[in-house]
Each structure stands twice: as C-alpha cells, then as structure tokens.
Amino acid sequence: MTQSGAHPCGPLATVVTRYYRNIDRRDVAAALACFAEDAIYRRPGYAAFVGLSAISEFYNGGRVISVGSHDLESIIEDTDTVAVRGNFHGTSHDGGPLAVRFADFWRFSGLVAVERDTYFDVAAV
C-alpha cells in the first residue's frame, strides 16, 4: 500500500489502514481480523457477504484479484465511520491488469468493522 501524503489516523482509520496493508501483503487472515463475526460487506457485482465466514470465502476463493496494491488518497474518520478514497492497481488471477478508483465506507462498533460498502469508478450502464 502506498499513501499520497499524510492522513489523519485516529483509532478507526488505523484499523482500516492496517486492513489495506495486510490485504496488499496477501495476509487475508490478518486483514479480516478487523471484521465482526456478523459483519456485512457489500461490493458491486456480488450479493452482500453476510458474516465473517462469507467474507473470508470471498477473499480466499472468489476475489478476481491475484495481487495488487491500494494507494489511499484520503481517509476521513467520524465517530463510528471511516471513508476511504483511492486507487487500486494489480493483476487478476487470469493475468490481466487491473486498475480502478474506489471508495470504501466502513462502519464500526468499537474497533471492529460491522459493515463495509465498496464502490468502484467504472463506466456507467
């Protein structure tokens, strides 16, 4: 993960930043440690992943990304929410290049993520 400049890093932003660092290192177990057992993850093109086991199944077998890195442009933290905007560059499992702008919205209970919504900047229908 690269970062374009300094970001405000309160406790929730630190959890989220650690998630991206771990996922970029392909340490799925460490990355998913921030999710509650009953967390919900919504991602374009998929039904919502409900529960940590469903999120884990996606990352360990359903994700089209083989390897890549997140460049975080901005992180905004509120009481129980973190918003992230950035770019992702990587390679798919079939060897094709991937490059996309993204935004993530995380909601927390304490320091544990209970909800995450990802949006990609792709051509509209």
The pLDDT score that the predictor gives to residue 9 is 67
**Spatial CB neighbours of 74, under 8 Å, sequence gap ≥ 6:** 7, 83, 84, 85, 86
The pLDDT score that the predictor gives to residue 85 is 97
Strand order in the sheet with 97-109: 2-3, 65-77, 81-92, 97-109, 112-121, 35-42, 49-50
Residues of the chain with pLDDT under 50: 2-5
Residue 113 has which token pair?
A: 């993520």
The residues that bridge with 71 in the sheet, in sequence order, are: 2, 87
